[in-house]
Structure formats: structure tokens, C-alpha cells
Structure 1
Amino acid sequence: MGKIAVIYWSSGGNTEAMANAIAKGIASQDVCAEVYTVSEFGGKNLNDYEKFALGCPSMGVEVLEESEFEPFVASVEKQLSGEKIALFGSYGWGDGEWMRNWEKRMLDDGCLVFETGLIINLTPDEEGIKKCEEFGARFAKF
């Protein structure tokens, strides 16, 4: 089975904690999960991965982070058409509009979006970490 790239952007560490827990859940299914910040992933070859878990918190007026993550998504979204992806992120306000918009965008690009994007308010607590691990385990089987 191929590798899964878990690629995220995090300012305060909440989405980073989610990314690591999702990777732990993926690994629990004996699937290789490689975790990268969006800047670390940089120019890696998308073809080296079977699936992608993408994470970004809600920013501003419920949008993706605009200086690093949005440009990354814009640069790869067409290449991800037909690929299995999972979306996740933390938020501090709003009702998840950024995730709904992001899901629609990726579906419109032809991506095979796993479930509904996983969102957690602020810092994931023990229950939130467990949700992330379970989400990762299910995504590994998707």
C-alpha cells in the first residue's frame, strides 16, 4: 500500500496537533503516513503518494491561510483531481464555512473527498485527538 502525505499549516499548533494525531491513526492501519508543514512539502512529487490529508485552520473571515497554504492548494488542486484526499483544520469562530467552501472547491476539481472535513474548535482536547486518530484510521482504509 502506498504512502499518505499529511500536509498542514498551523500558526498556534492546533492544526499541527490534529495532523500528528491523524498520522498516528493512519499508521495504526499499517500505512505509512509522512507529515509535512506546507513549506516542508514544497516541491515534493505528488506522484510519490497514494492519498493526501490536507490541514489548515480557519483564518480571517473563514478562509484558508493566505500566504502559504492557499497558494499551495491553488498550485496542486488540479493535479489532485481523481486523488483521494481528506481535509481537516481547527477554528476559533464561525460555523465551519471555510471547510464547506474548501470541500466544494476540491470536489469541483474532481478530488475524491473523504467524508466531511474534520474540524475542531481551538486546541484539540483528549476527545478531539481521539477523533483525529479515528479519522486517520478510516482515511487509511478509504
Structure 2
Amino acid sequence: MSKIAIIYWTGTGNTLEMARAIEKGAKEAGADVDVFEVESFGGVERLKEYDGLMFGCPAMGDEVLEEGAFEPFFAEAESHLQGVPVALFGSYGWGGGAWMESWAERTRNAGAKLIGDGLAIENAPDDDGIAACEAIGREFAVSL
């Protein structure tokens, strides 16, 4: 059984809702899944406890990752992603999702095995968005 960590930050609850739907999909595919708000995860050395990592963060400001907690964590985590299966997800309220494109490129440059190009959902996930989250959870779990 694959062990997956879903590590997220949320401001409005949209990214948490996505994380829970992704967790459901991954569990349906047989994975052991732990979900953490980024500040409760602990140090990046814990990343090695997992077979795959799923990171969730909404777009903030000028299409960037949240800068208070998530960005510093992810910046430190980058040096631990070489060869690791990773998936990205998050919500946005404006813009066209450029933050996800740059985050995906950054993750690939860190040497991660990025699964997909990242799931970006505008505002709160509707029924189709929840279904997409569950699907990425299943697909990620099966890929491990």
C-alpha cells in the first residue's frame, strides 16, 4: 500500500475542500493517506516517510504561493523532491492560473516526478471540481 502525504495551506477553505476530495480518491484507490495543514506537518525531513507527496496552495496576490507559511515550507522541501512522485493542486480567484504553471515548472526543476500539470480550480470546487479532485487522488495513488 502506498503512503501519501497531502500538505496544504488554505485561506478560505477551498483548498482544504480540494484536499479532502483528493484524499477520498486516493483512499478509494487503496492508498494510505495523511492530510496536513502545512504548519502542522513539521520539518521537511518527514517528507521521506511518504511514497508520494501532494501539495495544495491557492494563488495569492500576484499569482504566487502563500508567502507566510507555505512558500517557506515548499522552498525548503524542494531540495528533498529529487525523484519523488509529486502532484500539485489549488484554487484561484482571478487570473488564469499562471501560479500553477510556474509552480509546476519549479517542481520539475527540483527533480520531482510531477504527475500531471497541477489541478487549478477557480474559487470553490463545484461538483465537477470535486470529481476532478477525487480523480487526481485516484490517479496519483495508482501511479505509485
* TM-score calculated relative to the size of structure 1: 0.97
Distance 2:17 2:47 in 1: 23
Unaligned runs of 5+ in 2: none
Give secondary structure in 2 for the equivalent of 1:77. Answer: helix
Residues 57-112 of structure 1 deviation map (CA, whole Å, 9 limit, x = unaligned): 00000000001000000111111111000000000001111000000001111111
> What is the aligned partner in structure 2 of residue 133 from structure 1?
134
Higher helix share: 2
Alignment of 1:41-120 (within 5 A): 41-43=41-43, 45-120=46-121
Give secondary structure in 2 for the equivalent of 1:62. Answer: coil
- Between 42-51 and 95-104, the greater mean CA deviation after superposition: 42-51
Distance 1:41 1:82 in 2: 21
Q: Is the 8 A contact 2:2 2:141 kept in 1?
A: no
Unaligned runs of 5+ in 1: none
Q: Is the 8 A contact 2:6 2:36 kept in 1?
A: yes
- Tell me how many residue pairs correspond in the alignment: 142
Provide runs of 4+ in structure 1 moved above 4 Å: none
* TM-score calculated relative to the size of structure 2: 0.96
> What is the aligned partner in structure 1 of residue 123 from structure 2?
122
> What is the aligned partner in structure 1 of residue 27 from structure 2?
27
Give secondary structure in 2 for the equivalent of 1:33. Answer: strand
Give, in angstroms, the shift of residue 2 of structure 1.
2.8
Give secondary structure in 1 for the equivalent of 2:72. Answer: helix
Give secondary structure in 2 for the equivalent of 1:45. Answer: helix
Distance 2:125 2:105 in 1: 25
